[in-house]
Amino acid sequence: MPSDAKILRGRTLSFLSEPTGPEDTAAYRYLEDGALLVEGGLIRAHGDYAEVAAQAPEAEVVDHRPHLLMAGFIDLHLHFPQVQVVASWGEQLLDWLNTYTFPAEVQFADMTHAERMAGAFYDLLLGHGTTTAVAFCSVHPTSAEAYFAEAERRNMRMIGGKVMMDRNAPDGLRDTAQQGYDQTKALIEHWHGKGRASYAISPRFAITSTPEQLEAAGALVAEHPDAYVQTHLSENRAEIDFTLSLYPEAPDYLGIYERYGLVGDKTLLGHAIHLEPREIELLAATGGKPVFCPTSNLFLGSGLFDDAGLRAKGIANGIATDIGAGTSYSMLQTLNEGYKVLQLQSQKLHPLRAFHWITRGNAEVLGQVDRIGTLEAGTEADIVVMDARATPAMALRCEKATSLSEELFILQMLGDDRAVVETYVAGEPMKPKA
């Protein structure tokens, strides 16, 4: 057995499909004394401890009992340059962007600043159990270079891109249609498919891109069909009105992106709250992916995401933190607020489906379930170790927990970075030490 082989022992939970409810035990694999054989950055075996240990008798054993091992969390929408904007008081979307976000993003033209923020950003992701994320960088190529270089240093599977924005933004935070195309193309050639990196072509949203820039973004999509696309859609009523005033010929907000070839099964659309019937049908037809951002939707007062309504149309929704309008890097706290948003609409988020969502579910949205999102043999060894008794309040509540679902719900509602015992990236322990 190679020298880097090790066995991670503990209770293991991996999803095989989306659970339909607490009785759907066929949707997941839960082992009370489970083990993962990890070697070469991959999970080589997953099974009962005795069975796995027999396959590798000389491997180091890391005993995490009684903690719970799951696939590392996946965050589908956040903003790398907004790490110092989180918890900025008192605005709705457009004013919040102008007052807080844009001034912070201007600083990312400076590589020293971008590199420092990248180090802090990745520490925060890993501290909260997130091993893969999809992030917007600033308009500056330096920000994307810092983002991808730090991901490469930590060997993380990350997706991102510099925003393209050539209007309705301050000096120092605009490119041109041609610059956006040229800089994005150079970044794709440098980073897309290098190691564990993937690129997302990133027109910020229609308000900050001219038709010429969206046409350039569409050209990039045609030239690089295996790249992702990320943008924003229908977050706020005032945003929608402004957008449609800039594109008066469009049938609706999503129709703008549709016209320029930006809507497909690799398109991630942040928010997607206030959708028209035609937009919903278009998402169902094209495979476009709405991304639910509960903490930021509540923080900015944007609205309530209709998860059940979209799912009823066969649309696959992602879920994400949306740092920095989002208020926590924790996917656990994202589930907490998501549960409440859905409760307000008489929709339910059972803890089994919740943890499927932030692991396998988000991996399926990305089309990468063969690589991440489960603990199945052959997948990448991105793993989070969870302690449902991490705080006094959690420990007290756990005294009365009698099922896996109850334990997961305690993590979902009360957990945060304190519940993350360890975060493994490609089999290596990576949670920053306090």
**CA dihedral of 222, 225, 230, 231, whole degrees rounded to 10:** 20
DSSP H or E stretch at residue 350: none
Encode pLDDT of 291-333 as tens digits.
Answer: 999 999 999 999 999 999 999 999 999 999 999 999 999 999 9
* 289, 269 Cβ separation under 8 angstroms: yes
- Please state, in angstroms and rounded to a whole number, the distance separating the CA atoms of residues 210 and 227: 22
**CA dihedral of 146, 150, 155, 161, whole degrees rounded to 10:** -30
pLDDT higher than 60, residue 1: no
Strands 420-425 and 428-429: antiparallel
Residue 2 pLDDT: 55
Average pLDDT of the residues of the chain:
97
DSSP H or E stretch at residue 142: helix 141-154
* Contacts of 359 by beta carbon, 8 Å cutoff, 6+ apart: 15, 70, 71, 72, 73, 74, 373, 374
Q: What is the mean pLDDT of residues 125-129?
A: 98
- Please state, in angstroms and rounded to a whole number, the distance separating the CA atoms of residues 266 and 287: 8
Quick one: pLDDT band at residue 334, thresholds 50, 70, 90?
A: very high
Residue 92 pLDDT: 80
Report the interhelical angle of 141-154 vs 177-191 (nearest 10°). Answer: 10
Nearest to 342 by CA among 308, 367, 312: 308
* 12, 2 Cβ separation under 8 angstroms: no
CA 284 to chain centre: 21
Q: How far is CA 149 from CA 23, 132, 197, 215, 401, in A?
A: 44, 15, 10, 29, 43
Residue 162 pLDDT: 98
pLDDT higher than 50, residue 351: yes
Six token digits for residue 245: 């005033």
Facing residues of 292 across strands? 319
Strands 289-292 and 73-79: unpaired
Encode pLDDT of 68-86 as tens digits.
Answer: 999 999 999 999 999 999 9
Encode pLDDT of 394-415 as tens digits.
Answer: 999 999 999 999 999 999 999 9
- b/e map 207-239, b = 16+ CB within 10 Å: bbbbeebbebbbebbeebeebbbbbbbbbbeeb
Six token digits for residue 38: 């990890």
Q: Indicate yes or no: pTM above 0.95.
A: yes
Residue with tokens 């980073």: 191
Quick one: pLDDT band at residue 149, thresholds 50, 70, 90?
A: very high
- Please state, in angstroms and rounded to a whole number, the distance separating the CA atoms of residues 397 and 393: 6
DSSP H or E stretch at residue 413: helix 404-414
Residue 21 pLDDT: 85
* 146, 348 Cβ separation under 8 angstroms: no
Encode pLDDT of 212-271 as tens digits.
Answer: 999 999 999 999 999 999 999 999 999 999 999 999 999 999 999 999 999 999 999 999
Residue with tokens 């190679």: 2
Encode pLDDT of 365-390 as tens digits.
Answer: 999 999 999 999 999 999 999 999 99
- Please state, in angstroms and rounded to a whole number, the distance separating the CA atoms of residues 225 and 219: 10
